[in-house]
Amino acid sequence: MTRPDGLWITFEGGDGSGKSTQAALLAEWISDRGRTVLRTREPGGSDVGVLIRDIVLHHRGDIAPRAEALLYAADRAHHVATVVRPALERGEVVIQDRYLDSSVAYQGAGRVLDADEVRDLSLWATGGALPHLTVLLDIDPVTARHRLDADDKPFDRLEAEKEEFHARVREAFLALAMAEPQRFLVVDASTDPEDIAVLIRARVSLLV
């Protein structure tokens, strides 16, 4: 690993796509090659973000769609300023679970807000920050729901949405990847986790 500056990799996909598993596998692989890795997530990757995460995912009752989008943007602004940018400036590899593409998919397509406005809001909040690579773990919502059911844990506000919501989210993710193929790696998340990890490592090896 010879890259002297920081590297920022985000994982996207529907709930139950295996983002946490693949982020952990990639972090271990990169760490074994001598790089310092910071794993983080949105929402909740900072002190302020922990408070916002509790609101957007566990608040009992409705949150207006625009208010929800603004809460995610607020979390993102603080997270990038206090966690992501400092780590990149130190030359670390940041591996992050969700970023602005999730807002475009979930609040844009899922909540039926204007996707461009949602994206522009996050870009303004973060000063235009975009990751070097975004790994999209694509999976059919029905298969993903079976995985979530098997975990036997209570659903958060977004996981509990209906199948139609998650189908819109999936299509939005795929459209984002098609629009920015240089930034995205799309992987079939229904296959073996180790096979997925190999595909991700092959792409990341071109960047580090």
At 69-126, the pLDDT tens digits run: 899 999 999 999 999 999 999 999 999 999 999 999 988 887 778 999 999 999 999 9
Q: Where are the domains of the chain?
A: 7-204
CATH number of 7-204: 3.40.50.300
Per-residue pLDDT at 153 = 64
Q: For residue 95, report the phi and psi dihedrals to the nearest 5 degrees.
A: -115, 115
**Token pair of 165, please?**
């919501």
Q: What is the amino acid identity at position 185?
A: L
Distance, CA of 161 to chain centre: 18
Instruction: Give mean pLDDT, residues 45-68.
Output: 88
Instruction: Give mean pLDDT, residues 16-22.
Output: 91
**Helix/strand/coil (H/E/C) assignment for every residue in 60-128:** CCCCCHHHHHHHHHHHHHHHHHHHHHHHHHCCCEEEEECCHHHHHHHHHHHCCCCHHHHHHHHHHHCCC
Q: Tell me the average pLDDT of the chain.
A: 89
At 134-162, the pLDDT tens digits run: 999 999 888 766 666 656 666 555 555 66
Cα separation of 57 and 43, whole Å?
Answer: 9
